Amino acid sequence: MTSSGEEGKRDRDESLSSSGLSFSASPLVVIIGPTAVGKTSLSLHLAETLGGEIISADSRSFYRGMDIGTAKPTAEERARIPHHLIDIAEPDETVGLAEYQDRAYAAIDGVLARGKLPLLVGGTGQYVQAVVEGWRIPRVAPHPDLREELEAKAERESPYALHDWLKELDPQAAEDIHPHNVRRVVRALEVCLVTGRPISEQQGKTPPPYNILQLGLTMDRDELYERADRRLDLMLEAGLLDEVRQLLEQGYHWHLPAMSAVGYAELKPLFKGHTPEFAEEGAELEEVIKEIRSDLRRFIRHQYNWFSLDDPDIHWFDVTETSHQEIETFVRGWLRQLS
């Protein structure tokens, strides 16, 4: 007679072996790349053919009610394949990097425990690398009053005054952070002042216990820009303006970090302050659309800065030249090497 635990392990091993890997291998497949390149469609294909579940690494997908502008997987797609770390917070809440890392590791471990292949998918480079590289992140909760005081000092005296203070408390952190990056300077000072220790001493990396395969998706930059433009048009047709109106009706204001995302922040001129009523449309809308297109291009360039095409740990595929089936074959070969 076998115990339920033994039966569960056997089921997991059988599920994993069908994809060519062993449970003990602890595989993690990471799919990265810029917005609109096709990460969602590939992740769905691999999850269906290899028995996987998807863990989101897109910080914009955390927030409930922000579906169209964030290009979340559709309800139908989420019904086909289990997704994790989507809709985990309200728009006025903050999911910090440390919290995300903890939740991502828990989700990955849960997928592995079920005998499935975890697929970490997204374009937020900081969140992906925190998981893949095992960043040690100081667990210091935000102190709003202190942050407000520090931000006021930067505005009153200049960002350099704030950076000079950081230089006194933590020279290494000051060297790593540009003075104009006030948000990071404030966070570094916050950690130093709250804990009494330099933030640089509390950071570092501890690689997670997974065998990791990173797949990078790319394509010709001009073609990618055109694809992003087409997706924006579809978002507007799907009711992006109505989605923003609903958020405003629920009391979520423009100052929230969630509302600063590309595709949302630029829409502010179309509304009367914090009210859900339109201020202007027509020509004004055309100008806003142009601004979003420009910001999307800037955002794509920023993503490429996080995910370098020269990174030897990332296997890059041009999606216009490589099919999902070919990438699946590549992943299967990697999985077989682990078994």
pLDDT tens-digit series, residues 248-282: 999 999 989 899 999 999 998 888 766 556 655 54
Span 212-240, average pLDDT: 97
CATH number at residue 252: 1.10.287
Looking at the structure, tell me whether residues 278 and 318 fall in a common domain.
no
CATH number at residue 28: 3.40.50.300
Summarize pLDDT for 132-183 with one digit per residue, the tens: 999 998 888 888 899 999 999 999 999 999 999 999 999 999 998 989 888 8
Structural domains counted in the chain:
3
DSSP 222-286: HHHHHHHHHHHHHHHHHTHHHHHHHHHHTT--TTSGGGGSTTTGGGGGGBSTTSSSBS--THHHH
Q: Which residue type does 203 have?
A: Q
Tokens of 283: 């020509």
1 has pLDDT over 50: no
DSSP 52-99: EEEEE--GGGGBTT--TTTTPPPHHHHHHS-EESSS-B-TTS---HHH
Closest listed residue to residue 50, CA positions, set 4, 115, 134: 115
DSSP 148-201: HHHHHHHHHH-HHHHHHHHHHH-HHHHHHS-TT-HHHHHHHHHHHHHHSS-HHH
Q: Is the dihedral of CA 195, 196, 197, 198 positive or negative?
A: positive
Looking at the structure, tell me whether residues 258 and 240 fall in a common domain.
yes
d(CA 187, CA 246): 32
Looking at the structure, tell me whether residues 117 and 32 fall in a common domain.
yes
Looking at the structure, tell me whether residues 159 and 109 fall in a common domain.
no
Looking at the structure, tell me whether residues 121 and 241 fall in a common domain.
no
Looking at the structure, tell me whether residues 237 and 298 fall in a common domain.
yes
pLDDT band at 308 (very low <50, low <70, confident <90, very high): confident
Looking at the structure, tell me whether residues 213 and 66 fall in a common domain.
yes
Looking at the structure, tell me whether residues 151 and 94 fall in a common domain.
no
Average predicted confidence (pLDDT) for the chain: 89
Helix (H, G, I), strand (E, B) or coil at 205: strand
Looking at the structure, tell me whether residues 155 and 272 fall in a common domain.
no
d(CA 330, CA 48): 16
203 has pLDDT over 90: no
Looking at the structure, tell me whether residues 164 and 78 fall in a common domain.
no
Backbone dihedral region for residue 17 (phi beyond 0: left; psi -120 to 50: alpha; all else: beta): alpha
Residue 309 is given by DSSP the state T
The total number of residues written for the chain in this structure? 339
12 has pLDDT over 50: no
pTM of the full structure: 0.84
Looking at the structure, tell me whether residues 183 and 248 fall in a common domain.
no
Looking at the structure, tell me whether residues 124 and 250 fall in a common domain.
no
Closest listed residue to residue 143, CA positions, set 92, 179, 181, 94: 94
Domain span including residue 252: 221-303
Backbone dihedral region for residue 87 (phi beyond 0: left; psi -120 to 50: alpha; all else: beta): left
Closest listed residue to residue 30, CA positions, set 99, 95, 127, 115: 127
CATH number at residue 164: 1.10.20.140
